Structures are given as structure tokens and as C-alpha cells.
């Protein structure tokens, strides 16, 4: 009888698998990267867009679907597109960071990204991963469950993406070039945006303020994406509570809050119930800023939540109370509530094969003589590093190509697993440790190994909240705290039962975060701070994950249209 039941169970599972494969679709898109005149803050500027849209087009698919996106570069800058949070199982050539998995698409050329979504659903996004073009080249990537698979929460009446961004009243490449030339911090943005619009609190902006319309009593799924180039952001809606149900394309145990904090690169799904008196309410976002004595954009962007049956068409909407710019207590209380839903796919490593400790933070490069190229603090240039190594991207090939084609002299595999010198990371750091070394160093991970990384903020120049993104993987956040990580004390408090699953995590200001994952995806994968000024200064490293003896055996061969350098 048992064998008989097992036989029918296998048949049933085979039918379910065949049906899921049969319903999987392939979606074809064309992205034309081009200059487009856009008016914001009273002035019209040519910005780089996709298909003339700012933000760019939203892509929708289901778990199991395949995306084929042909990118045609009609702009004057090199460009790549990164599909932020997509695991890219066996398709690392489609990941997108320039000089890591591909050389950039040159003006007048094209490249087709092909990848399949595997066991992911929720909200991700796509963006440029070359220079600072991400400031305007980005859009939502919405992954719905497979047909017949429900959400783990009440089905919303509607859903929509809310993309939070930054706007400069200057050409963004000029802003980057100036920062590179001077060695100083870049000019801060002139405005924040919600779905590309600054909102009522900025000059020349109220007519185009983004709006979300709701009926009384309905539930709306808001897909909040922080596409800002350099800034963590608070988000809230006047008089409305938000129920957080997902982060970075992973569901969490629902909890209610008045304020959400999203770091650059992160996504958060919230349910909003239209349960307030019919009227107009501001959705608002502004900075969470933690670096000491660092300039930041202290303005507030708004959009409007408006009830269809509102009798008040013109009164000013109600503005929510947002936290103070440096309110770390609110951030800590918020993030501590994020926990994974029970799931058979929740596989938190308990036996660790690779135990890594990475310091992250800023640094300064000493200049021998004063001059226009040394406008950082006290005649220096800003830098950033991990384990005191400031990452340098190659320029003649990509890291993945160099490994796959055995091109010598492009990188080394001696990235240190721990800092070469232990010090009081969040205390008074010796000036001798402020200047990093420079190199293109990778760390090799054995395929299938269980990895733990402790990311430790440092007080070099300033402690700061760093959003760290790992390409090609999601990971479990098993612990966070303030001060220096103490393994004998802090490991005992790790959450190995329901830790949140993420692809980007904010390392607390003056603190640490511990993450775990299984190295089951062969390729060369970038790990970096998603504050783009920090990435440009070198706050990054790369993992090389092999499958087999010295080979990337299970990945696809390079596509024939892979861009040359």
C-alpha cells in the first residue's frame, strides 16, 4: 500500500511540475538607452533614460518565466544593465556590473540579456551599473507567483511600484567627474523623487506630483524601491499604517508600522488599507543620514494618496511626521521586526565552512602636495575599502571573462578573509590605518560551501550606515549589533530560526551585521556598498565561486554578442 501511495504521489508531483513548466513564459523587451529632455525644478535637462521614460519601464513576470531584454545603446556613454536581486543561476553573463561580468555596451552597440527567474517572487528592480547612470536609468521588476500560487497575505485590490530616487540639477556624469577630479565628496542631490517627481514642496513641481488613487476600504500593495544613488530614505504616509509583507523579493512575517526605512538597492512591499476619512494624504520620503559632519540633501519629496470619493479636492494634503535625519533608534526598531515566514525553502546554514570577517568603511589617500586634485579633508582624497583593500575594476576585460578565458594578470585571488591588522574598529582608529591599499583581489569560495560573513563598520573618517549588496545570491541576516563584533558574545544571539532573507542589507552605523548563505551559484560575483560614491571609492570586492576542479562547469558559455572592451 505504501509503495502504491508513493507511486501516485510521484505521478502527482510530475503533473504539477509539467503544468508549472507549461505555464512558464518568455518575455521579450527592447531597451533603448538614450538622451531625453526632462523638466524638473524649473529647468529642462537632457538625461539618460530607457525608451524615453523616467523612471524606466516596469517589467512584469512570474516565478519560472524567462526574460530576454535587448539593450540598444543610443546614448553617448558606455552602459550596462543590472537586474538587481535576480540570482542569475548559471547565467552570470547576464548580471550586468561593468568590468565584473561583462564589458560595457558601447555607444551604437547592443547586447541581449537572457535569464530565467528561479524560485523568486516579489519586488526587485533593474538599473544601470556603469558610472553614475543609475541616477536616471532604473525601473521596477515585478515578479508575481506562479499561476495558482497565492500570496501569503490577503489579495490586494491593486498594486503599484513607488520608486524613490534622487535628482541633481546638473548633468550627473559631470557631478561624478568633478568628484573624481577633486578627490572630495560629490555634490549632494537637489531633490528626492517619488516615481520621478519631486512633489509639492519643491519649486515648479506641484503640477506633476505623483498621485495614487484609492477607493475607501480597498487594500493596495505598494512596492517601495529605493533607487536613490547615495541616500538611505525614510518613507511614510499621512494618517495611514503600513503592513510590511516583503523585502527584496522575499516574504516576511507581517507587521505594522508608520514609517519604513529603505537603503539604496532595497525593496519593501507594504499593504495599505484605505481606512481613513476620504481625503488627500501625503506620501513622503526624506533622508536617513548617519555620517558625521557630512553634507546631505535635507529636503522632502512627496506624492499624494487621494481617495476617489473625496469631497476635498483642493485642500493641502496631510503631511506625515517623519523621523529625525539621524534617528537610528527608529531604524533599529523597524529592522528588528523583519523576520522570514516559515517555509520549506528556508535553509539557514548551521555548520559553517567559510567564516569571513570584513571591515567596511571610508578612508583617505594622502597627497604629497596640495592642489585641485586633493580637495578631501586636510589635503587628501577620499577612498573606501573592505579589509583595507580598495577595489579597482579592470579596464581591458571583465573579471568573469578573464577567469573563463584564463587571461592572466587581471586579478589575484588573495582577498584577505579577515583584516590583516585587528584594531578597535568603531573606536579611535590609528591614522596609520586610514589609507588603504589598492588592488583587484577576489576571494575563492568552494562550490556548495556554507558561508558566514560578518560585515563590520569602522570609524575611519566616520562611522556610517552602509547598504551592502551581494550579486548572484540572497542571504540570511542572522545577527546585527552596535560596536565591535564579539564572536564569543554575539554568536549566541544569532537568529537561525526565522532570519530575514535579503540581497542588500544596511550595516548599522558603528555596528556589524552577520549574514549566511550557501555558495551554490558558480560565477564571479560583486559585493559592494550600494552608495555609488562609496563604490567608486573602492568599497567592494568579488567572490569567485567555482563548480568543479578549477572550472565554472555549470554556467552557460559567453553569449556571442557579449560586448568587447
pLDDT digits (tens, 9 = 90+) for 96-120: 999 999 999 999 999 999 999 999 9
What is the Cα–Cα distance from 433 to 364, expressed in whole angstroms? 9
Could you write out the DSSP letters of every residue in 449-488? -EEEEEEEE--SS----EEEEETT--EEEEEEEESS--HH
Residue 425's nearest CA partner among 382, 455, 453, 457 is 457
Q: Which pLDDT belongs to residue 550?
A: 63
Q: Which pLDDT belongs to residue 16?
A: 47
**Is the pLDDT score of 519 beyond 50?**
yes
Q: Where are the beta strands (DSSP E) in 323-424?
A: 354-366, 380-386, 389-391
User: Which run of H or E residues covers position 559?
Assistant: none
Q: What angle do CA 287, 237, 326 make, to 5 degrees?
A: 25
Q: Which pLDDT belongs to residue 39?
A: 97
pLDDT digits (tens, 9 = 90+) for 368-412: 888 999 999 999 999 999 999 999 999 999 999 999 999 999 999
Task: Quote the percentage of the chain above a pLDDT of 70.
Answer: 94
**Is the pLDDT score of 314 beyond 70?**
no
Is 92 within 8 Å of 555 (Cβ atoms)? yes
Q: How many Å is the Cα radius of gyration of the chain?
A: 23
Longest pairwise C-alpha distance within the chain: 86
Mean pLDDT of the chain: 94
Q: Within 336-406, where are the H helices? A: 399-404
**Is the pLDDT score of 5 beyond 70?**
no
Q: Which pLDDT belongs to residue 51?
A: 98
DSSP class of 315 = S
pLDDT digits (tens, 9 = 90+) for 425-449: 999 999 999 999 999 999 999 999 9
Q: Which pLDDT belongs to residue 3?
A: 45
What is the Cα–Cα distance from 144 to 131, expressed in whole angstroms? 31
**Is the pLDDT score of 7 beyond 70?**
no
What is the Cα–Cα distance from 488 to 367, expressed in whole angstroms? 41
Q: Which pLDDT belongs to residue 313?
A: 60
Backbone angles phi, psi at 530, to 5 degrees: -85, 10
**Is the pLDDT score of 549 beyond 80?**
no
How distant, in Å, are the alpha carbons of 193, 197, 231, 432 from that of 202? 10, 10, 18, 44
Q: Which residue has the higher pLDDT, 345 or 381?
A: 381
User: What separation, in Å, do the N-terminal and C-terminal C-alpha atoms of the chain show?
Assistant: 63
pLDDT digits (tens, 9 = 90+) for 22-62: 589 999 999 999 999 999 999 999 999 999 999 999 999 99
Residue 229's nearest CA partner among 198, 189, 256 is 189
Q: Which pLDDT belongs to residue 311?
A: 66
The helix, strand and coil proportions of the chain, stated in percent and rounded to the nearest 5, come to 15, 40, 45
Helices and strands, number each (H, E), in the chain: 6, 32
In this prediction, residues 269-276 reach a mean pLDDT of 97
DSSP class of 148 = T
Is 54 within 8 Å of 47 (Cβ atoms)? yes
What is the Cα–Cα distance from 130 to 80, expressed in whole angstroms? 6
Per-residue b or e along 493-517, where b marks 16 or more CB atoms closer than 10 Å to that residue's CB: ebbeebbbbbbbbbbbbbbbbbbbb
pLDDT digits (tens, 9 = 90+) for 60-70: 999 999 999 99
DSSP class of 63 = T
**Is the pLDDT score of 424 beyond 60?**
yes
**Is the pLDDT score of 1 beyond 90?**
no
Q: Which pLDDT belongs to residue 9?
A: 47
The region that residue 206 occupies, defined by phi over 0 for left and psi between -120 and 50 for alpha, beta otherwise, is alpha
Kindly indicate the confidence band of residue 83, based on its pLDDT and cuts at 50, 70 and 90.
very high
Amino acid at each position: 500500500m505504501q509503495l502504491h501511495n508513493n507511486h501516485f504521489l510521484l505521478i502527482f508531483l510530475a503533473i504539477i511540475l509539467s503544468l508549472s513548466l507549461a505555464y512558464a513564459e518568455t518575455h521579450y523587451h527592447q531597451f533603448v538607452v538614450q538622451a531625453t529632455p526632462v523638466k524638473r525644478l524649473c529647468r529642462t535637462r537632457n538625461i539618460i533614460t530607457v525608451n524615453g521614460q523616467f523612471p524606466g519601464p516596469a517589467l512584469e513576470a512570474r516565478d519560472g518565466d524567462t526574460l530576454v531584454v535587448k539593450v540598444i545603446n543610443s546614448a553617448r556613454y558606455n552602459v550596462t544593465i543590472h537586474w538587481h536581486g535576480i540570482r542569475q543561476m548559471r547565467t552570470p553573463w547576464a548580471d550586468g556590473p561593468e568590468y565584473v561580468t561583462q564589458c560595457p555596451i558601447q555607444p551604437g552597440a547592443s547586447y541581449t540579456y537572457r535569464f530565467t527567474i528561479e524560485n523568486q517572487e516579489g519586488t526587485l528592480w533593474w538599473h544601470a551599473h556603469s558610472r553614475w547612470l543609475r541616477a536616471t536609468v532604473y525601473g521596477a521588476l515585478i515578479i508575481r507567483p506562479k499561476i495558482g500560487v497565492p500570496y501569503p497575505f490577503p489579495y490586494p485590490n491593486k498594486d503599484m511600484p513607488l520608486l524613490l530616487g534622487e535628482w541633481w540639477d546638473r548633468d550627473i556624469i559631470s557631478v561624478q567627474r568633478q568628484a573624481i577630479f577633486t578627490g572630495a565628496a560629490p555634490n549632494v542631490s537637489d531633490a528626492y523623487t517619488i516615481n520621478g517627481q519631486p512633489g509639492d514642496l519643491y519649486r515648479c513641481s506641484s503640477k506633476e506630483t505623483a498621485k495614487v488613487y484609492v477607493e475607501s476600504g480597498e487594500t493596495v500593495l505598494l512596492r517601495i524601491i529605493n533607487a536613490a544613488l547615495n541616500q538611505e530614505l525614510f518613507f511614510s504616509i499621512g494618517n495611514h499604517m503600513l503592513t510590511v509583507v516583503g523585502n527584496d523579493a522575499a516574504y516576511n512575517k507581517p507587521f505594522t508600522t508608520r514609517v519604513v526605512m529603505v537603503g539604496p538597492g532595497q525593496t519593501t512591499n507594504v499593504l495599505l488599507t484605505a481606512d481613513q476619512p476620504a481625503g488627500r494624504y501625503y506620501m513622503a520620503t526624506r533622508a536617513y543620514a548617519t555620517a558625521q559632519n557630512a553634507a546631505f540633501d535635507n529636503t522632502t519629496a512627496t506624492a499624494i494618496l487621494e481617495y476617489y470619493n473625496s469631497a476635498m479636492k483642493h485642500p493641502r494634503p496631510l503631511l506625515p511626521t517623519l523621523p529625525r535625519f539621524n534617528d537610528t533608534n527608529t531604524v533599529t526598531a523597524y529592522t528588528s521586526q523583519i523576520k522570514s515566514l516559515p517555509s520549506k525553502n528556508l535553509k539557514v546554514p548551521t555548520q559553517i565552512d567559510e567564516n569571513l570577517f570584513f571591515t567596511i568603511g571610508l578612508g583617505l589617500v594622502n597627497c604629497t602636495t596640495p592642489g585641485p586634485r586633493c580637495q578631501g579633508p586636510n589635503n587628501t582624497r577620499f577612498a573606501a575599502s573592505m579589509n583595507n583593500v580598495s577595489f579597482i575594476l579592470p579596464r581591458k576585460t571583465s573579471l568573469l571573462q578573464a577567469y573563463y578565458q584564463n587571461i592572466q594578470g587581471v586579478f589575484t585571488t588573495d582577498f584577505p578573509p579577515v583584516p590583516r591588522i585587528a584594531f578597535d574598529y568603531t573606536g579611535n582608529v590609528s591614522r596609520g590605518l586610514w589609507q588603504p591599499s589598492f588592488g583587484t583581489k577576489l576571494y575563492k569560495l568552494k562550490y556548495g560551501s556554507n558561508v558566514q560573513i560578518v560585515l563590520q563598520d569602522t570609524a575611519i573618517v566616520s562611522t556610517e550606515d552602509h547598504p551592502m549588496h551581494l550579486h548572484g545570491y540572497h542571504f540570511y541576516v542572522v545577527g546585527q549589533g552596535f560596536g565591535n563584533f564579539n564572536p564569543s558574545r554575539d554568536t549566541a544571539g544569532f537568529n537561525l530560526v526565522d532570519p530575514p532573507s535579503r540581497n542588500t542589507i544596511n550595516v548599522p552605523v558603528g555596528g556589524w551585521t552577520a549574514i549566511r548563505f550557501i555558495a551554490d551559484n558558480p560565477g564571479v560575483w560583486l559585493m559592494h556598498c550600494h552608495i555609488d560614491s562609496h563604490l567608486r571609492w573602492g568599497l567592494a570586492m568579488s567572490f569567485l565561486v567555482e563548480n568543479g576542479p578549477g572550472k565554472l562547469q555549470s554556467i552557460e558559455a559567453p553569449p556571442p554578442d557579449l560586448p568587447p572592451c
